[in-house]
Structure 1
Amino acid sequence: MTIFQKPLGTAFGAFTTAQDVAVDADLSGKTAIVTGGASNLGLETVKVLASKGATVIVPVRDTDAASQSLSHLPNVRAVKMDLLDPSSIKRFTSDFIANGRSLDLLILNAGVMATPLFRDRNGNEGQFATNHLGHFLLTAALWPRLRDTTGGTRVIALSSRAHQLGGLDLSDLDFRRRTYDKWLAYGQAKTANALFAVALDSRGAEHGIRAYCVHPGSILGPLARHLSDEEIRQFGAVNTDGSAVVDPSRDFKSPHQGAATSIWCATSPDLLGIGGVYCEDCDIAAIVADGQLGGPGVRPFAVDPGVAEDLWLASARLLDIHQPGYCS
């Protein structure tokens, strides 16, 4: 399989907002699921989708808290789901499929970053389990609806330039042999998100399912909850008054700007016939083999079809999924 990982030269860029991208979009009659859609970047994504006519389902652990953020939005509903609880994911997807809705957009936005070591109930390292395995299982459970949606569907997985920290170790995904490092674990999870889009697109394209991976930019918010004030200052992410830096020329973005590439991947006609690509600044990113850490572009290992396939099969084994067409 060949990946079309080349910039298109779109009219948008780092300063573009989600509303700018969506100005001509009409999502009337469409249904979207957005994980992590009740705050910050995800909330902005949900707002724009809803403003363009989409019905948006937001899976969350705490429906009461989410409802406070979402209650004023038309056609948006919070539904209970926990990415670390397979039974919760299966309940959510079973109820969704039973409703008979199409699934036109699946935006895998939820995640955790640089956490202390924790593990899911099966012993999988927590950042990998939350950011990748939970979304892998969610997509597997929704696969029949994705496959049967008339007119095709798009799946968008959020990654990060943190994938550049070093890829993943398929022989030690759970840091059993390696010393746990919160940033290496985050980088591994974000690499997995990128590779997920590659392998999903290879399975889904013939069914009208196209998958994309997005680096949204650096947006200070709840994702940084596990970082100390000193760490945040070292990244240059806050002004002297404590407010978040917004400077898209250095990849520091507002939620309005950060959601733009997700919305572009969800709606742009430029991507018709293209999938399995890593995107940033509302365009397909260039492959950069040895660039500056944190700089633009995607590393070759994060869009490598062979590595993507190996990770896909390993993920299916870890989750004990044997679904024909999805796991084969």
Structure 2
Amino acid sequence: MTATTTPQRKIDSGFGARTTAAEVLRGIDLTGTLALVTGGYSGLGLETTRALVGAGARVLVAGRRPEEARRVLGGLDRVEIAELDLADLDSVARFADTFLASGRALPLVINNAGIMAAPETRVGPGWEAQFATNHLGHFALVNRIWPAIARAGGARVVSVSSVGHHHSPIRWHDPHFAEGYDKWKAYGQAKTANVLFAGWLDRLGRASGVRAFSLHPGGILTPLQRHMELAEMVEYGWVDAEGNALNPDFKSPEQGAATQVWAATSPALDGLGGAYCEDCDIADAEQVREYALDPEQAERLWSLSAELTGVNAFAAR
């Protein structure tokens, strides 16, 4: 048994690795639909915001740099901007309280923001920053705004993971790397957490009509690589000495944003949930590590996350 409640195999969506976010939305009318996109003003988040607005949605962009978001998104209609620092649980609480006070339902949530391969950084009570930002912050966010998500009826929550989850399972003995830091293992653990989170949220949320998905967007050159040295990316064969892309499998940002937009909106996913997606389709099982689909680990991570953040919308009352 896996944490996913939908078979982990392709459904032949008709799309692929080169599909763009705008293309997956062709024929889909999101007029009147509110979508929350964390980090929706940079990289894949920016392309996600543009595509959703193009389909008629109203997009609430939440991020650490609201002034930069206003500068970047100033020409787009139907965009709201709010401050949200996922590494700061007080910031998450302020954002959630403000949103809930608006009384609005929230049918689409795309947990897009994240950091990758960051130097060792501690946030909050000494938490490792990649795990805290990429997972714990989004965990607290979704649990705090859960009443608005559940009230929407048929909502979807999308958790942007990565093939980077292959680098590490959850390090139950040392999730915050007190015993020695490795930036890629830390990133891998955080991305595994994104998959496990979506799988368990889907199980918990089905009774409210809420479904969740995780995904690998593909290889894309975006500001996500800001913590990496040029020489490191050259060594990996990603770019040349001038920083130009070399890997023919890399996607454009418009293509990279497509899978999260597809997971959030595709009618082909109606009635499905919990699966890990790639290239605008559910991924085959061999593309995702077994530990990322393990229901026992998913439930254990949920309990740990609730303990660390002090938030759990599904706690027994």
TM-score exceeds 0.5: yes
Q: What does the per-residue CA deviation read over 1:154-182, in whole Å, with 9 as the maximum and x for residues that have no partner?
A: 000110101111212112111123x2100
Instruction: Please list every run of 5 or more consecutive structure 2 residues that lacks an aligned counterpart in the other structure.
Output: none
Q: Using a 3 Å threshold, how does the CA distance of structure 1 residues 73 and 40 change in structure 2: closer, same or farther?
A: same
Q: CA deviation at 1:327?
A: 7.4
Match of 1:279 in 2: 277
For 1:316, which of 299, 306, 312 is the aligned residue? 306
Match of 2:212 in 1: 211
CA distance in 2 between counterparts of 1:155 and 1:327 reads 22
Match of 1:68 in 2: 71
- Matched to 2:273, the amino acid is G
Q: What does the per-residue CA deviation read over 1:120-160, in whole Å, with 9 as the maximum and x for residues that have no partner?
A: 1211111100000000000011111111113x100001101
Q: CA deviation at 1:11?
A: 0.8
Match of 1:157 in 2: 159
Spell out the pairing of 1:123-142 with structure 2 (5 A cutoff).
123-142=126-145
Match of 2:122 in 1: 119
Q: Using a 3 Å threshold, how does the CA distance of structure 1 residues 142 and 123 change in structure 2: closer, same or farther?
A: same
Q: Check conservation: 2:230, 2:241, Cα contact below 8 A.
A: no
Q: Check conservation: 1:246, 1:253, Cα contact below 8 A.
A: no
Q: Check conservation: 2:149, 2:210, Cα contact below 8 A.
A: yes
Structure 1 segments (4+ residues) deviating >4 Å: none
CA distance in 2 between counterparts of 1:287 and 1:326 reads 31
Does 1 or 2 have the higher relative contact order (CA < 8 Å, sep 6+)? Answer: 2
TM score, norm. by length of structure 1: 0.92
Is residue 143 from structure 1 mapped to residue 146 from structure 2 by the alignment?
yes
Q: Using a 3 Å threshold, how does the CA distance of structure 1 residues 166 and 85 change in structure 2: closer, same or farther?
A: closer
Count of equivalent residues = 314
CA distance in 2 between counterparts of 1:24 and 1:322 reads 37
For 2:23, which of 20, 24, 37 is the aligned residue? 20
Match of 2:50 in 1: 47
- Matched to 2:105, the amino acid is S
Q: What does the per-residue CA deviation read over 1:274-305, in whole Å, with 9 as the maximum and x for residues that have no partner?
A: 111100000111112xxxxxxxx111111111
CA distance in 1 between counterparts of 2:78 and 2:35 reads 11
For 1:166, which of 143, 165, 168 is the aligned residue? 168
CA distance in 2 between counterparts of 1:155 and 1:11 reads 22
Match of 2:252 in 1: 254
Q: Identity rate of aligned residues, in percent?
A: 48
Spell out the pairing of 1:4-19 with structure 2 (5 A cutoff).
4-19=7-22
Instruction: Please list every run of 5 or more consecutive structure 1 residues that lacks an aligned counterpart in the other structure.
Output: 289-296
CA distance in 2 between counterparts of 1:6 and 1:128 reads 28
Q: Using a 3 Å threshold, how does the CA distance of structure 1 residues 23 and 282 change in structure 2: closer, same or farther?
A: same
Is residue 94 from structure 1 mapped to residue 97 from structure 2 by the alignment?
yes
Q: CA deviation at 1:83?
A: 0.7
Q: What secondary structure, in the 3-state scheme, does the structure 1 residue paired with 2:227 have?
A: coil
Q: CA deviation at 1:241?
A: 4.6
Q: Using a 3 Å threshold, how does the CA distance of structure 1 residues 26 and 322 change in structure 2: closer, same or farther?
A: closer
Q: Check conservation: 2:38, 2:113, Cα contact below 8 A.
A: yes
Q: CA deviation at 1:266?
A: 1.1
Q: Check conservation: 2:234, 2:241, Cα contact below 8 A.
A: no
Q: What does the per-residue CA deviation read over 1:203-236, in whole Å, with 9 as the maximum and x for residues that have no partner?
A: 0011011000010011112111111111111222
Q: CA deviation at 1:8?
A: 0.6
Q: CA deviation at 1:321?
A: 2.3
Q: What secondary structure, in the 3-state scheme, does the structure 2 residue paired with 1:225 have?
A: helix
Q: What secondary structure, in the 3-state scheme, does the structure 1 residue paired with 2:130 have?
A: helix
- Matched to 1:184, the amino acid is K
Q: CA deviation at 1:242?
A: 2.6
Q: What secondary structure, in the 3-state scheme, does the structure 2 residue paired with 1:44 have?
A: helix
Q: Check conservation: 2:62, 2:83, Cα contact below 8 A.
A: yes
Q: Using a 3 Å threshold, how does the CA distance of structure 1 residues 145 and 326 change in structure 2: closer, same or farther?
A: farther
CA distance in 2 between counterparts of 1:235 and 1:141 reads 39
CA distance in 2 between counterparts of 1:327 and 1:44 reads 39
